[in-house]
Structure 1
Amino acid sequence: MAVTEVFAQRATLSRSLRLLWEFRYEQPDPTRFYSGLASDTAAMVGDLWRGIHGDSMAGRAVLDVGGGPGYFATAFADAGVHYLGVEPDPAEMHSSGVVFERNAGTFVRASGMALPFADDSVDICLSSNVAEHVPRPWRLGAEMLRVTRPGGLVVLSYTVWLGPFGGHEMGLTHYLGGARAADRYARRHGHRAKNDYGSSLFAVSVAEGLDWAASTGALVDAFPRYHPRWAWWLTSVPVLREFLVSNLVLVLRP
């Protein structure tokens, strides 16, 4: 069975439209949006694990690099997974109040580019929408591979810079250039964006991710995270993929 075959059955147009519809609530109701995204992510990782091993990921240990305020912890706990969350920003970790709400997992303050875990120590390592926020995304990827047991699963998903959501809260102004868009946002709002180009937001392309993943020898598949299965072919088309693959998933098996 192909690694992505199980998840491909879930990657329908109705799922894509539902996630896009829910994106409206990211700012006014983050709990609604991120809880739904976390549940969808846990299901995706579970499907990818089943595609490799043929069984459930329940009882396994997952390390979530950039776990944020705990929405993912709850979703993975509901799936029966032992959850470890890494987050460098304590304000982000406590922003929603859900981190310690259900004792859903263990949380560590650390950088994803220097994970405080031993080699081969977890079954699954996930990074969701973090790579575009660090200056050395492939160092993060290398760390994820290091801490994952041979035969395990690494899922690195990130927002593509030239895609429609690459600018984050700057909107489509990132097509004017990252620095210009960041300055424009600051002038308009009177403060720098949370995702500020050059400090907390960086331009990461599909091509860079695919090249890095291929160089590791561990890449087993790559696909657009939020697209229906029939649109996954976009990942293989240079230039076009940079604009139409809004979020790339790299699936690796150490």
Structure 2
Amino acid sequence: MASFPELPALRRLATLGRSWGLLSDFKYEQTRPDIFYGNLALDTSSLVAALSEDISGAGLNDLKVLDVGGGPGYFAEAFETLGATYFSVEPDVGEMSAAGIDVHGSVRGSGLDLPFLPDSFDVVYSSNVAEHVSAPWELGEEMLRVTRSGGLAILSYTIWLGPFGGHETGLWEHYVGGEFARDRYTKKHGHPPKNVFGESLFNVSCREGLEWGASVGNAELVAAFPRYHPYWVWWMVKVPVLREFAVSNLVLVFKKH
């Protein structure tokens, strides 16, 4: 596996306290999305700014940032506070308006066919979207297409065999099978889960992401690490089998040629 930079700014953020705080917020995802996504937005903007500082030598001030799968708009204020010009694209109009947040740069569209010209953005990122599309690497290719030369593309996704691979269907049920987890949730709650296996939730592995990242021709894979873990366990990404169960969420960072 390739050797990646030390990422000092990001390491300062990647503490055990941060990991525990994000994990504690997970219980609010369905009942209090303002808490869950509000804190996640602050964490995500800080993570992206740290990556920009480590790789490009500067933060997000005056940069055009595209959020692929921006959802109901919790992330806009967090990025604009750091000086970025924020844009988002989201396919579901209901999801865009769910929180009642007006995002002036929000566009309805698919991550698999982004409605932007090539080389349009300084930073393009997607958080927890790739596992919800049937062609995750096509999503990655589209993100790279609209990233300018020298810019960053950051793809973060949930690994199926990690503890949160089944999303709201449970912590162990998806290990039996995606269909089992879906059907058990439906029987228990009287309605299907928000993330339906085979339709809006898919089995995406850590290995597949790393292999795709290494094969990209128009950008360099400059970093790969667990999204929510403290820096001193980032080494798990390098260990086959273990990484599928322990990494939970993989971040792939590219610098466009």
Query: What TM bracket, shorter-length normalisation?
Result: over 0.9
Query: For residue 14 of structure 1, what is the aligned residue in structure 2?
Result: 17
Query: For residue 239 of structure 1, what is the aligned residue in structure 2?
Result: 241
The structural deviation recorded for 1:164 is: 0.3
Spell out, residue by residue over 1:90-138, the C-alpha distance to the aligned partner (whole angstroms, 9 max, x if none): 000011112x1xx5x4011000000011111100001000000000000
> Is structure 2 residue 219 aligned with structure 1 residue 216?
no
* Alignment check: 8 A CA contact 2:5 2:223 kept: no
Task: Single out whichever of 141-150 and 7-16 deviates more from structure 2.
Answer: 7-16
* Alignment check: 8 A CA contact 2:186 2:193 kept: yes
Letter paired with 2:110 = S
Letter paired with 1:5 = P
Letter paired with 1:115 = L
> Is structure 2 residue 169 aligned with structure 1 residue 170?
yes
Letter paired with 1:243 = F
Alignment of 1:95-110 (within 5 A): 95-98=98-101, 100=102, 103=103, 105-110=104-109
* Alignment check: 8 A CA contact 1:127 1:155 kept: yes
Q: Equivalent residue of 2:60, what SS?
A: coil
Q: 2:7 aligns with which of 4, 9, 12?
A: 4
> Is structure 2 residue 112 aligned with structure 1 residue 113?
yes
Q: Distance in 2 between matches of 1:108 and 1:53?
A: 27
Q: 2:44 aligns with which of 37, 41, 53?
A: 41
Q: Distance in 2 between matches of 1:198 and 1:28?
A: 25
Query: For residue 253 of structure 2, what is the aligned residue in structure 1?
Result: 251
Query: For residue 87 of structure 1, what is the aligned residue in structure 2?
Result: 90
Spell out, residue by residue over 1:47-103, the C-alpha distance to the aligned partner (whole angstroms, 9 max, x if none): 0001122122111000100000001112111111111100000000011112x1xx5
Query: For residue 188 of structure 2, what is the aligned residue in structure 1?
Result: 188
Change (3 A) 1:3 1:110: farther
Aligned residue-pair number: 250
Q: Equivalent residue of 2:126, what SS?
A: strand
TM-score normalized with structure 1 length: 0.96
Q: RMSD of the TM alignment (CA)?
A: 1.3
The structural deviation recorded for 1:28 is: 2.1
Q: Distance in 1 between matches of 2:191 and 2:25?
A: 27
* Alignment check: 8 A CA contact 1:3 1:52 kept: no
What is the identity percentage for the equivalent residue pairs of Structure 1 and Structure 2? 57
Q: Distance in 2 between matches of 1:58 and 1:16?
A: 26
Alignment of 1:15-34 (within 5 A): 15-34=18-37
Q: Distance in 1 between matches of 2:29 and 2:193?
A: 16
Task: Single out whichever of 51-60 and 151-160 deviates more from structure 2.
Answer: 51-60
Q: Distance in 1 between matches of 2:7 and 2:141?
A: 22
* Alignment check: 8 A CA contact 2:5 2:222 kept: no
The structural deviation recorded for 1:3 is: 6.5
Q: Equivalent residue of 2:106, what SS?
A: strand
Q: Equivalent residue of 1:196, what SS?
A: coil
Q: Equivalent residue of 1:155, what SS?
A: strand
* Alignment check: 8 A CA contact 1:62 1:123 kept: yes
Query: For residue 138 of structure 1, what is the aligned residue in structure 2?
Result: 137
Q: Distance in 2 between matches of 1:214 and 1:4?
A: 19
Letter paired with 2:141 = A
Letter paired with 1:124 = V
Q: Equivalent residue of 2:156, what SS?
A: strand
TM-score normalized with structure 2 length: 0.94
* Alignment check: 8 A CA contact 1:65 1:87 kept: yes
Q: Equivalent residue of 1:222, what SS?
A: strand
Task: Please list every run of 5 or more consecutive structure 2 residues that lacks an aligned counterpart in the other structure.
Answer: none
Q: Distance in 1 between matches of 2:111 and 2:174?
A: 25
Query: For residue 226 of structure 1, what is the aligned residue in structure 2?
Result: 228
Q: Equivalent residue of 2:143, what SS?
A: helix
Structure 1 runs (4+) deviating above 6 angstroms are none
The structural deviation recorded for 1:12 is: 0.7
